[in-house]
Structure 1
């Protein structure tokens, strides 16, 4: 179909690419490089490239020890949306979450990202919560796979 390449974050260049994609899509909660380096220790982070062009990133938060809930977040940069790339990134993250023992899958979308919200709803997610981070004015929407 395409030459989409999705790889686990490995090395400083990929940390920077993941950070760029995250911060472009979640401008209300920008992460520093140190934040990303810390997250890669506890979550499964991947970056997606079409050829050599960065198109997005993903996060899989593994299930916690007290629950089988994992969070799968697929992010596609606006210029690369509506090409099926998000579906491929999401499917890979979903498979990873299930490998890690997830029985319940959730995701989170910034309210100001209507493309992301529609994507989640088209893939079977339903809203379960909305919340603001301290100092923010744009809510995050938590969704669960029905």
Structure 2
């Protein structure tokens, strides 16, 4: 049985928790506190708890452009995977993106995160790009939700 998931918007007091999860799951592209604060001004950053324990974070980049493309990224700490938390979190954040007017939904996965890639593919995301950011050594994979 999946524990109840509590999703909280990462306001100023919670941005460090959000950053710690991001940097644990994406160690090849760590973010500074200033970078996270800047992201929080333009994106919806959330953290999730299950049974009062911090289990993950998410980013929803609001819809933009003529295609009304939103990006939804959910990250679950490895020790909390396989319990349905990621699926519940993703569904909640997809609903947020759709309620903001998203027509197309994309996500991004670090290529070395095979669990995350398999998670996205199993939920209907399809790869459409791979790239390295300047200074990175591990590629990012862009995917979009099919249908």
Q: Does 1:69 align with 2:69?
A: yes
**1:48-104 alpha-carbon deviations (Å, 9 max, x no partner):** 111222100000000114331000000000000011000011011100000110000
CA RMSD of aligned residues (A): 1.0
Matched residues, number: 145
Structure 1 runs of 4+ aligned residues shifted over 2 Å read none
Q: Which residue number in structure 1 is paired with residue 141 of structure 2?
A: 141
**Could you tell me the TM-score, scaled by structure 2's length?**
0.95
**Which ranges of structure 2 fall in alignment gaps of 5 or more residues?**
none
Q: Which residue number in structure 2 is paired with residue 29 of structure 1?
A: 29
Q: Which residue number in structure 1 is paired with residue 44 of structure 2?
A: 44
**Could you tell me the TM-score, scaled by structure 1's length?**
0.95
**Which ranges of structure 1 fall in alignment gaps of 5 or more residues?**
none
Equivalent pair of 2:5/2:89 in contact (CA under 8 Å) = no
